Copies of this chain bind each other. A is one copy, B any other.
């Protein structure tokens, strides 16, 4: 396989789907696209060569030539590599051939030195995950900020507390929004912790080699250095799955609350900037797209995380299928959670709150204490949450 010479064979743009507008909002979709995977794999091959030069295993000139050849990802044909992967069982085998062809000369022999396919693919997965997790965390944090803003603005807005979806007792919308902020802060922190711990992978064909190369590669890629290879001990993938499913769970819960509060009969919140959000087909109907789409993304997380947990049953020194099952699943889980977080941010940043309606609903419910305003101590709880952020 040689780098493609024709633009007509260029890989397709990362997002071409009919459903991307709804299900792939935000930056994560592009960050885990086939193109992004290709770029990450090339980055790893480049870093491997440069790390080899760092430790004296690779001639510096060869390392530089390899790094240059890996820079132009447009010179590689993702679709053709994908097809060739069918013969080898993974796309790294044909990619290495393509890189060697692009490097040419004596330097070609130094490409992929000491690495196995899984080393390169796992490193690329760690890189992609780290970047995508940072994006997820940023949207979660922005959504948390928006929730905190709602909590501050509506600190003293009485609202009906509902248990089992039945009227229960008074609370405040400030406290509700403060709860959203706390939940989002917690999961943003979880996501950042996992991102910071994602490890490099370098162990050669059976994971037995290590030496200085691994530390050097970790340094080059900015990944953590693990005590040992994790080719078939997939705690880093499981950690990623866990923080994403947890984040999706919190996002989905808040999206659910917004959907319920926006019901016609409740009408306590409305989505979207003032003056926008009308439906063209039913003029009387107000679109509720952001919370709905946030829920849609979040709903996929438990199943995808479950697959990654189940795929931890990996045989001996390289799994016969379970590793391969991770690739798309991990990408999808990052993308779905990222889309959900991005939609929730949009939702909360433009949520319009109808405090008078909240008060009216509280009164109409006829629950005890409905006339007493916000219960004692609730405002202080909101303050404590805001102060702790």
CB distance from A306 to the nearest CB of B (A): 4
**With A12-B16, A320-B292 in contact, do A229 and B179 touch (Cβ < 8 Å)?**
yes
Of A49-57, A62-70, A159-167, A216-224, the segment with at least 4 beta carbons within 8 Å of chain B is: A159-167
Alpha-carbon distance between A205 and B182 when the two chains are bound, in angstroms: 20
Q: Which of A198-254 contact B (CB under 8 A)?
A: 204-211, 226-230, 232-235, 238-239, 241-243, 245-246, 248-250, 252-253
Q: List B contacts of A250 (CB < 8 A).
A: 233, 235, 312
The distance in angstroms between the C-alpha atoms of A360 and B320, with both chains bound, is 24
Complex CA gap A315/B322 in Å reads: 15
A273 touches B (CB below 8 Å): no
Q: Is the Cβ of A265 less than 8 Å from the Cβ of B320?
A: no
Q: Which residue of B lies closest to A291 (CB)?
A: B320
Q: Tell me the nearest residue of chain B to A374, going by C-beta.
A: B208
| A11 CB-CB contact with B under 8 Å | yes
Residue picked from A11, A83, A166, A329, most chain B C-beta under 10 Å: A166
Contact between chains at A207 and B315 (CB < 8 Å): no
Q: For the complex, is A288 an interface residue (Cβ under 8 Å from B)?
A: yes
- Contacts A34-B16, A175-B208 given: A233-B264 contact, CB under 8 Å? no
CA distance in complex: A280, B92 (Å) = 13
Is A327 a contact of B23 with CB atoms below 8 Å?
yes
Indicate whether A304 reaches chain B with its CB closer than 8 angstroms.
Answer: yes
State in angstroms the CA–CA spacing of A321 and B79 once bound together: 32
Q: Is the CB of A165 within 8 A of B259?
A: yes
Given contacts A171-B208, A303-B310, contact A246 B252 (CB under 8 A): no
29 contacts between A and B (CB under 8 A): A16-B34, A17-B34, A18-B37, A22-B86, A89-B293, A160-B264, A163-B206, A163-B285, A166-B263, A166-B285, A167-B284, A168-B205, A168-B206, A168-B285, A169-B204, A183-B233, A208-B378, A228-B385, A239-B242, A242-B246, A249-B309, A250-B312, A259-B320, A263-B265, A284-B367, A295-B322, A296-B325, A299-B325, A302-B309
